């Protein structure tokens, strides 16, 4: 292999030390002391292999390797280095370390590329501090306004703009982080799977073909609050009883829709919410994800039908409100072909996958071609201290990326 597993392990272990909650998982919010420490380490590693290092107006760290062709579009490679509260050492940093290791491997093999490559480490992807997730990538595609920097605040009431200023960045320049589509050739991200499929199917890497469509709906079922002791069963309009009749059908509805469709009821509120009162209202949410928009529509229609039938039998009324609708994203076919070719060449095994989570890749797909690779997560765990990927498994993902990015950067088949 062209990459080095000891260096990969060392990067992950060093980055995990920049942590606000030692012993209770990794907490690294953006524009904090922990961010500063991790950022300085990333920058020093980038400088050591000859990259030209700077930060964009949003605070994303960029290490640029010039290509041979003047003015050629850039290949961008990386992920984020912030974390959730009490999370793990791999969600985000795995993809940043991928960039560092590829940069080092290119440097020591004295490879020159036709296209420039920018290795990047983005911030506030998780929205852990300000609730403004995918911040670095959204700024890069020009989707963060100056006003938003005042609107989003952390738990202590500090706005993004104030935190940026305290960190040495000028919030008034946020628009300068935006990149033009024509200056980018492709974006490559490596991420831990955060699910159990690769481990379960004993596959080395996941090649993501789609980032799923997401739909959030909120259902409110209205009945009538009554005394729990004096109202006979036949004379009740129990909102929760009706809501649960519908909820109990949702997993079967999702399975029937196919195409990897999943549906989750994650919130259920009952009011008045007292032991001795028949529920007058029940509110629940449904998170629906699928690679096909029509599967999502099918699920919503089936939920509507179930509500309608229940309403007829039980005299309840209901409303359905759409809270979020994100279209599916198909990742670049030519990049997927190159991944497949290199998987064979390297003797790895692969799984073609859906990504059930967004990632910076989803945002970058708005302006450029995108490739996304997953590496296995132990027991499928993520966003918790137990989050773990074997270093040799992470190396396989990095090795695949190394070859694929070089194919893209020299634009010659079978190079590398
Ligand atoms: Zn992540």
Does residue 415 belong to any structural domain of this protein?
no
Same domain, 316 and 352: no
- Domain assignment of residue 188, given as a range: 5-211+328-410
pLDDT at 80: 98
Helix H or strand E segment including 204:
none
Q: Tell me how far the alpha carbon of residue 126 lies from the centroid of ligand 1, in angstroms.
A: 7
Ligand 1 centroid to residue 372 C-alpha, Å: 12
CA distances from 113 to 75, 229, 281, 330 (A): 11, 78, 63, 27
**Cα 91 to ligand 1 centre (Å):** 5
Model pLDDT, residue 74? 97
CB-side neighbour CA atoms (13 Å) of 361: 32
- CA 286 to ligand 1 centroid distance, Å: 23
Q: How far apart are the CA of 191 and the centre of ligand 1, in A?
A: 7
- Same domain, yes or no: 23 and 136: yes
Count of domains observed in the chain: 2
Please tell me the distance between residue 125's alpha carbon and the centre of ligand 1 in angstroms.
Answer: 7
Chosen domain end from 326, 352, 384: 326
Domain-located, residue 416: no
Provide the residue count of the chain: 416
R_g of the chain computed on alpha carbons: 24
- Kindly state the helix (H) or strand (E) to which residue 272 belongs, with its residue range: none
Distance CA 114, CA 68 (A): 5
**Which of 326, 360, 388 is at the close of a domain?**
326
pLDDT of amino acid 132 = 87
Q: What is the whole-number distance in angstroms between the Cα of residue 92 and the centre of ligand 1?
A: 4
95 CA → ligand 1 middle, Å: 9
> How far is the centre of ligand 1, averaged over its atoms, from the C-alpha of 359 (Å)?
6
CA–CA gap between residue 48 and residue 107 (Å, rounded): 9
Query: Do 42 and 138 fall within a single domain?
Result: yes
Q: What's the N-to-C CA distance of the chain in angstroms?
A: 11
* Domain boundary residue, one of 276, 311, 326: 326
- On whether the CB atoms of residues 295 and 261 are closer than 8 A, the answer is yes
Please name the helix (run of DSSP H) or strand (run of DSSP E) that holds residue 281, with its range, or none.
Answer: strand 281-290
Distance separating alpha carbons of residues 360 and 222, to the nearest angstrom: 39
Q: What angle do CA 331, 389, 77 make, to 5 degrees?
A: 40
Nearest alpha carbon to residue 403 among 336, 337, 346, 334? 346
- Quote the CA–CA distance of 78 and 93 in Å, as a whole number: 9
Cα(247) to ligand 1 centroid in Å equals 30
Mean pLDDT per 10-residue interval, the chain, length 416 residues: 97 98 98 98 98 98 96 97 97 98 97 97 95 94 96 96 98 98 98 97 97 94 98 97 98 95 96 98 96 95 98 96 90 98 98 92 95 98 97 98 96 46
Q: What distance in angstroms lies between residue 90's CA and the mean position of ligand 1's atoms?
A: 8
- Which stretches within 258-372 are classed as H helix? 293-314, 333-346, 359-364
- What CATH number has the domain bearing residue 246? 3.30.70.360
281-290 vs 213-222, strand pairing mode? antiparallel
The CA distance from 117 to 59, in Å, is 19
Task: Give yes or no: residues 142 and 184 share one domain.
Answer: yes
User: 């290795």: which residue's tokens?
Assistant: 119
CA angle 54, 60, 62 (to 5 degrees): 40
Question: What pLDDT score does 323 carry?
Answer: 87
Ligand 1 centre to CA of 311 (Å) is: 41
Distance 401 CA to ligand 1 centre (A): 17
Q: What is the pLDDT of residue 324?
A: 85
Q: Looking at the structure, do residues 318 and 371 belong to the same domain, yes or no? A: no
pLDDT computed for residue 358 by the predictor: 81
Judge if 243 and 110 occupy the same domain. Answer: no
Whether omega before 231 lies within 30 degrees of 0, making that bond cis, reads no
The SS3 call for residue 227 is strand
- Cβ atoms of 86 and 106 within 8 Å: the answer is no
The enclosing domain of 390 has a CATH number of 3.40.630.10
Query: In terms of domains, do 316 and 337 share one?
Result: no
């Amino acid at each position: 292999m062209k990459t080095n597993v000891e260096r990969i392990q060392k990067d992950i272990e060093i980055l995990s030390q920049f942590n606000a909650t030692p012993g209770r998982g990794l907490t690294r919010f953006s524009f904090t002391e922990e961010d500063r420490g991790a950022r300085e380490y990333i920058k020093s590693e980038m400088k050591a292999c000859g990259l030209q290092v700077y930060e964009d107006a949003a605070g994303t760290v960029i290490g640029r390797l010039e290509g041979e062709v003047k003015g050629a579009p850039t290949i961008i490679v990386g992920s984020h280095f912030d974390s959730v509260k009490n999370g793990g050492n791999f969600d985000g940093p795995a993809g940043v370390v991928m960039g560092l290791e590829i940069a080092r491997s290119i440097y020591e093999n004295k490879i020159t590329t036709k296209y420039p490559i920018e290795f990047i480490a983005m911030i506030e992807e998780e929205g852990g501090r300000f609730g403004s997730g995918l911040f670095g990538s959204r700024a890069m595609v020009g989707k963060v306004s100056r006003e938003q920097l005042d609107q989003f605040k952390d738990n202590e009431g500090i706005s993004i703009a104030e935190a940026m200023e305290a960190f040495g960045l000028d919030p008034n320049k946020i628009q300068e982080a935006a990149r033009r589509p024509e200056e980018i050739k492709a974006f490559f991200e490596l991420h831990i799977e955060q699910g159990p499929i690769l481990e379960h199917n004993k596959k080395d890497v996941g090649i993501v073909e789609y980032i799923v469509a997401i739909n959030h709906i909120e259902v409110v079922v209205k009945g009538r609050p009554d005394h729990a002791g004096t109202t006979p069963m036949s004379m009740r309009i129990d909102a929760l009883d009706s809501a649960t009749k519908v909820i109990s059908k949702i997993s079967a509805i999702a399975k029937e829709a196919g195409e990897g469709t999943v549906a989750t009821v994650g919130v259920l509120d009952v009011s008045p919410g007292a032991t001795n009162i028949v529920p007058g209202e029940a509110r629940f949410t449904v998170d629906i994800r699928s690679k096909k928009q029509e599967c999502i529509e099918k699920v919503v229609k089936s939920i509507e039908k179930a509500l309608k039938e229940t309403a007829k039998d039980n005299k309840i009324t209901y409303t359905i409100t759409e809270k979020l609708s994100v279209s599916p994203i198909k990742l670049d076919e030519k990049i997927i072909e190159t991944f497949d070719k290199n998987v064979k060449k390297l003797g790895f095994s692969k799984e073609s996958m859906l990504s059930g989570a967004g990632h910076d890749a989803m945002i970058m797909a708005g302006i450029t071609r995108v490739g996304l690779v997953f590496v296995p997560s132990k027991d499928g765990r993520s966003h918790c201290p137990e989050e773990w990927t074997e270093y040799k498994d992470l190396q396989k993902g990095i090795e695949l990326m190394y070859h694929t990015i070089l194919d893209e950067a020299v634009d010659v088949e079978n190079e590398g």
